[in-house]
Amino acid sequence: MAKQAFEASCRGYGSANPDPCLMVIFGASGDLTQRALLPSLFELAQEGLLPEPFAVLGVAISDWDDDGFRRRMRDAVSPRNSDEEQRWEDFVEKLYYLSGDFESEDSFDALRARVDQLRDSLGLPDNLLFHLAVPPVFFASICEHLDRAGLAHSGRETYGDDGNGWRRVIIEKPFGQDRSSARALHRDLQRVFAERQLYRIDHFLGKETVQNMLVFRFANPSFEPIWNHRFVDQVQITVAEDIGIGTRGDFYEKTGVVRDMVQNHLLSLLSMVAMEPPVSYDARSLRNETGKVLQAIEPPQAADCVAGQYEAGRVDGKTVRGYREEDDVASDSTTATFAAVKLRVNNWRWTGVPFYLRTGKRMAQALTEVSVHFKPVAHPMFPHSGDPGPERNLIAFRVKPEEGILHTFIAKQPGSELCLAPVTSRFLYAEAFGIERPPRAYAWLILDAMAGQQTLFAREDWVDEAWRIVDPLVDRLERQHRSQLHVYAAGTWGPPAAAELLALDGRRWLQPENPVR
């Protein structure tokens, strides 16, 4: 990835730049830090986008020191060539570590002392970015301990750029287990931090194609006039994973697919594609509009939902076990690993347009895509035969496996006869910008947090509305009997009932074998 990839992705924030700061990562020995956070920070360092001075202080229970932390993070980043190896040698000097217990006052006293020492030795201003890469049970207690240890506040009393320092907190999902617990957690956090300091992260919103939904609609005059119920027949949102639950059996048993995926990722995608034009591209305007989308959605009825659980099957030619055979999963578990839901956005723009959401583990392939399907022409003047299919006229925003936008429309095939066929125009990042892979979503979002930009982070009212929508669905799933859960073989596109959900409306899911691919 070249530096121009980052430059071409400028958000239009004007002169906003990341402030020099110390980033404190709680849960620094965990999977998220090694898989996403440190590789993202290293990406930023390679492109010269990290502020100066800057340092990372990892905090976790593991009994490591600075050198041990640095060795493990190097393994996670895995520099690919001599140039990256040299950049890593420069970057690694910014990494530090403190072993501590998230519920121990002594640990936070030690943290305060280490923060003061690093600030003095590195010439860092009083700017602290806390990243809570820990289980949600620790969110409130960590913030309370930061407050008691004198780390939650700087000399700044107002949220301006007066040089007296700031505090910001990045919070990972899930934000609560339901609406009531999310509200309680918000109250706990607000005893220490203001809403303007809280950055509830959904890494989907940092993905290039998700942001391109907005640019596609609002920077091009061709599409916004037809982005409504008069022209759109349906919207499909698929977030399919080919992996299972891995070592997260205990977590998944308590969470399930609706809490894990629908409440955040899929509703984030829905609100981005369905929102009204914001007044401007800023945190207040954009988040006002995405919140209004959720306010217009009623919780789905029982007939509009299908839940499933994967059983043994084959993925990529390999036999894999079923969910109930996974580690730390009950043999009679009724936890859903798949969900298909039909939602309705009850406003003037989208009245009558169904939004079909689908997500699951151990599906046929990894695929994240939002497809907007347009209605057929009012009068079909050209001859045709057979079912035109769902792919005849649509726009697909693909996040995975290849990021880009695909526009499928009807054209005449060459020849003496008038024969119509769907064709697809493709915009892919690799081809259009020469980018092997777009920047990591976490890289952008961490950079935004350093710059004080909350545009792509969820606000408290958005989270509250999301739980209002999914709480009845979660409650229904948790009360269902084992016999009511639809099973599907690993390596497929989910249970047959998911296809029937659309068939009742005379529609079908867009699948990878369709010409849009």
pLDDT band at 45 (very low <50, low <70, confident <90, very high): very high
Beta-ladder partners of 420: 412
147 CB-contact burial (10 Å; exposed 0-12 / middle 13-18 / buried 19+): middle
Is 73 in the same domain as 216? no
Query: Are 217 and 167 in a shared domain?
Result: no
The per-residue pLDDT for 57 is: 98
User: What are 298's two structure tokens?
Assistant: 């009623």
Work out the mean pLDDT of the chain and round it to a whole number.
88
Q: Do 168 and 282 lie in a common domain?
A: no
Is 451 a member of any domain?
no
pLDDT at 118 over 80: yes
Residue 98 — very low, low, confident or very high, per pLDDT cuts 50/70/90? very high
Average of pLDDT values for 80-96? Answer: 88
Which range, of 154-158, 263-267, 329-333, 432-436, averages the lowest pLDDT? 154-158
DSSP symbols for 153-182: --S--SSS-SSS-EEEEEEPSP--SSHHHH
Weakest-pLDDT range from 102-106, 277-281, 416-420, 423-427: 416-420
368 shares a domain with 311: yes
Question: Per the omega criterion (within 30 degrees of 0), is the bond before 414 cis?
Answer: no
Task: Pull the structure tokens for residue 50.
Answer: 């990290």
Do both 350 and 489 map to the same domain?
yes
Query: What value does the mean pLDDT take over residues 77-99?
Result: 88
Please say which residue of 117, 149, 172 terminates a domain.
Answer: 172
Same domain, 80 and 226: no
Q: Do 321 and 462 fall within a single domain?
A: yes
Quick check: 426 pLDDT over 90?
no
Does 164 share its domain with 211?
A: no
Instruction: Please report whether residue 125 resides in a domain.
Output: yes
Token output for 147: 């407050």
Indicate whether 73 pLDDT > 90: yes
* % of the chain surpassing 70 pLDDT: 91
Q: Decide: 321 and 313 in contact? Cβ < 8 Å.
A: no
Least confidently predicted of 6-20, 205-219, 232-246? 6-20
Examine residue 198 and state whether it is found in any structural domain, yes or no.
no
Higher-confidence residue: 146 or 437?
Answer: 146
Q: Mean pLDDT throughout 364-372?
A: 95
**Residues for the chain: how many in total?**
517
pLDDT at 16 over 70: no
**Of 149, 172, 195, which closes a domain?**
172
Same domain for 211 and 162: no
What is the distance between the alpha carbons of residues 508 and 389, in angstroms, rounded to a whole number?
Answer: 8
- For the chain, the straight-line distance linking the first and the last C-alpha, in angstroms and rounded, comes to 25
**Which among 172, 194, 224 is the end of a domain?**
172
CB 207 within 8 A of CB 403: yes
CB atoms within 10 A of CB 461: 16
In a domain, 60, yes or no: yes
Cα distances from 246 to residues 203, 359, 388, in angstroms, run 20, 17, 40
Are residues 142 and 217 part of one domain? no
Beta bridge partners, 398, equal: 369, 404
Task: Write the secondary structure of 460-495 as one string of H (helix), E (strand) and C (coil).
Answer: HHHHHHHHHHHHHHHHHHHHCCHHHCEEEECCECCC
Phi, psi (degrees; rounded to nearest 5) at 207: -75, 140
Residue 379 has pLDDT above 80, yes or no: no
Mean pLDDT of 80-86: 82
Give the other-Cβ count within 10 Å of 415's Cβ.
7
pLDDT of residue 482: 62
Residue-wise burial string across 123-144, b where 16 or more C-beta atoms lie within 10 A, e elsewhere: ebbbbbbbbbbbebeebbebbb
The single-letter DSSP state of residue 454 is: -
pLDDT tens, residue by residue, 436-465: 666 788 999 999 999 999 999 999 999 999
Instruction: Select the more confidently predicted residue: 381 or 339.
Output: 339
Most confident of 49-58, 246-255, 430-439: 49-58
What pairs with residue 421 in β-bridges? 411
Q: Which of 265, 373, 384, 486 is catalytic?
A: 265
Domain housing 488 = 205-440+456-503
* Backbone dihedral angles phi then psi of residue 234, each to the nearest 5 degrees: -165, 160
- 386, amino acid identity: G
C-alpha 78/C-alpha 230 separation (Å) is: 51
Same domain, 213 and 165: no
Element (H, E) at 331: none
CATH code, 167: 3.40.50.720
SS3 (DSSP) at 357 = strand
CA torsion 279-280-286-287 (nearest 10°) is -80
Segment (H or E) for 396:
strand 394-400
Instruction: Give the lowest-confidence range in 101-105, 175-179, 374-378, 448-452.
Output: 374-378
pLDDT of residue 207: 87
Mean pLDDT over residues 403-430, rounded? 82
CATH number of the domain where residue 464 is located: 3.30.360.10
Tally of domains within the chain: 2
Per-residue pLDDT, 436:
67
Given a cut of 60, is residue 75 above it in pLDDT?
Answer: yes
Residue 364 and residue 255 share a domain: yes
Predicted pLDDT at 386? 54
Phi, psi of 255 (to 5 degrees): -110, -60
Tally DSSP H helices, then E strands, for the chain.
16, 17
Write down the pLDDT at residue 439.
75
265 a catalytic residue:
yes
What sections of 259-404 are H helices per DSSP?
Answer: 267-274, 283-295
Q: Quick one: angle between helices 105-122 and 139-148, nearest 10?
A: 60
Going by their DSSP bridges, the two strands 486-489 and 305-311 should be labelled as parallel
Q: Is residue 516 part of a domain?
A: no
Least confident of 431-435, 465-469, 486-490, 506-510: 431-435
Say what the pLDDT of residue 409 is. 85
Q: What are the start-end ranges of the H helices in 123-234?
A: 139-148, 179-190, 208-218
Q: How does residue 155 score in pLDDT terms, banded at 50, 70 and 90? A: low
pLDDT at residue 11 in the model:
45
CA–CA dist 501, 70 (Å, integer): 50
**Residue 177 within a domain:** no
Residue with tokens 């190896």, as numbered in its chain: 85
- Report the alpha-carbon distance of residue 464 to residue 470 in Å, rounded: 10
- Select from 323, 364, 329, 280 the least CA-distant residue to 485: 323
How many CB atoms lie under 10 A from the CB of residue 363? 25
Q: What is the rounded CA–CA span in Å between residue 341 and residue 305? A: 5
The reply to whether 329 falls in a domain is: yes
> Is residue 450 situated within a structural domain?
no
